[in-house]
Amino acid sequence: MSRNTLSLDDIRGAWVIMPTPAREGADDPLARDTVDLDETARTVDALIQAGVDGIMSLGTLGECATLSWDEKQAFVGAAVEAARGRVPFFAGTTTLSTRETIEHTRAVRKLGADGTMLGLPMWCPPTLRMAVDFYRDVANACPETAICVYANAEAFRFDYPAAFWAQVAEIPQVICAKYLGIGTLLRDINASKRRIRFLPVNNDYYGAARMEPDFCTAFWSGGAVCGPELVTSLRDEVAKARGTGDWQRARKLSDAAAAASALFMPPGGFAEFARYNVGLEKARANAGGWMNAGPARRPYHELPTGLLEGAQKSGQRWAELAQQVRDGTFFA
């Protein structure tokens, strides 16, 4: 069951963004009921048992664009049942229109999700007013649902200026943001008057925490499904460093995770990564061996051989690092 509406203070620690597990044959263009619900439940429970602080789903790597509405509801239902309220669970409800997004957001809340990881409609690049009105409209129609702004300029063709954060921060349900990079982090924290918890990716968490140790207290990770211990340890080492002033162990973990992640970033950088995002994430997760993400659903099933190999090496390296954390040899 979902809890009362979450607040900024509920957003802390290591949040995992998980793929939607696919059954064998899910890459068939005529496939139906492609979600592996058993693996969904197993993964959610295992993440929580490993100590993560929250789970988000149904973004890009969660294949929100290629799942049917029935499949999304089945996935959210299985995930919520497995979570049993132990950590917050956010289900992505991005669609091509405000009306459909409202319908989906209401439905996942009814299923028990605590919030939505919500991106902008993708058909036309939005103006600032369109973007702010979109979040305001969804919040007004879904007053009990917490909102995580899914801030991805490449996917949503919007650059998220300071004025955007200043205005959406006035919406009570907007409590956090899935955030990329830290170059404008201080600008956006100040623009939002510290009303929004910005979650950088795990590779940037160390840097963010050094910049704003008292406010940057949460982050997201997709690589965690190759072994969550790497990010739960990073969370704990950063927390210790805030008290002791010794950041060496946190820096070592951050650098190791970044090196593993670099193996699956294409030579063309993030723009090229965005082209193959789903396939890369699925390949990394499957190679890590911690969860079975299954095949990528069409039309995002293509992945050039060179990029596939890099993603697989990344997943394997991440899994090795997580094992070292588990057995206590990482800092030896």
Strand residues in the chain grouped as ranges (E): 13-17, 54-57, 89-91, 115-118, 146-150, 174-178, 197-199, 218-221
Specify if 3 maps to a domain: no
- Asked if residue 34 belongs to a domain, the reply is yes
Write the pLDDT tens digit of every residue in 103-120: 999 999 999 999 999 999
Please check whether residue 307 lies inside any domain of the structure: yes
In a domain, 331, yes or no: no
Sheet holding 13-17, edge to edge: 197-199, 174-178, 146-150, 115-118, 89-91, 54-57, 13-17, 218-221
pLDDT in tens, 4-38: 689 999 999 999 999 999 999 999 999 999 999 99
Checking phi first, is residue 291 left (phi over 0); if not, alpha (psi -120 to 50) or beta? beta
Phi, psi of 57 (to 5 degrees): -155, 170
DSSP at 63: T
- Amino acid, single-letter form, for residue 96: L
The reply to whether 43 falls in a domain is yes
- Tell whether 14 is covered by a domain: yes
57 belongs to a structural domain: yes
Rounded to the nearest 5 degrees, what angle is found at the Cα of 147, between the Cα atoms of 145 and 148? 150
Residue-level pLDDT at 269:
84
pLDDT block averages, 10 residues each, the chain of length 332 = 78 98 97 98 98 97 96 98 98 98 98 98 95 98 97 94 98 97 97 98 97 97 98 98 97 96 86 91 97 97 93 97 97 92
- Please say whether the beta carbons of 175 and 118 come within 8 A: no
Separation in Å, CA 250 to CA 161, 203, 242, 245: 30, 11, 10, 11
- CA quadruple 178, 262, 41, 65: dihedral sign: positive
Q: What pLDDT sits at residue 3?
A: 60
- Structural contact between residues 34 and 304, judged by C-beta atoms closer than 8 angstroms: no
Q: What is the DSSP string of 309-328?
A: HHHHHHHHHHHHHHHHHHHT
Range of the domain at 76: 8-326
Q: Is residue 302 part of a domain?
A: yes
The answer to whether the CB of 248 falls within 8 A of the CB of 228 is no
Tokens of 26: 């899910």
Q: How many domains does the chain contain in total?
A: 1
Our answer to whether residue 252 is catalytic in this structure is: no
Q: Decide: 140 and 113 in contact? Cβ < 8 Å.
A: no
150 tagged catalytic: yes
According to the 3-state scheme, what is the secondary structure of 7-60?
CHHHCCEEEEECCCCECCCCCCCCCCCCECHHHHHHHHHHHHHHCCCEEEECCC
In the set 178, 206, 276, 300, the catalytic residue is 178
CATH number (domain holding residue 138)? 3.20.20.70
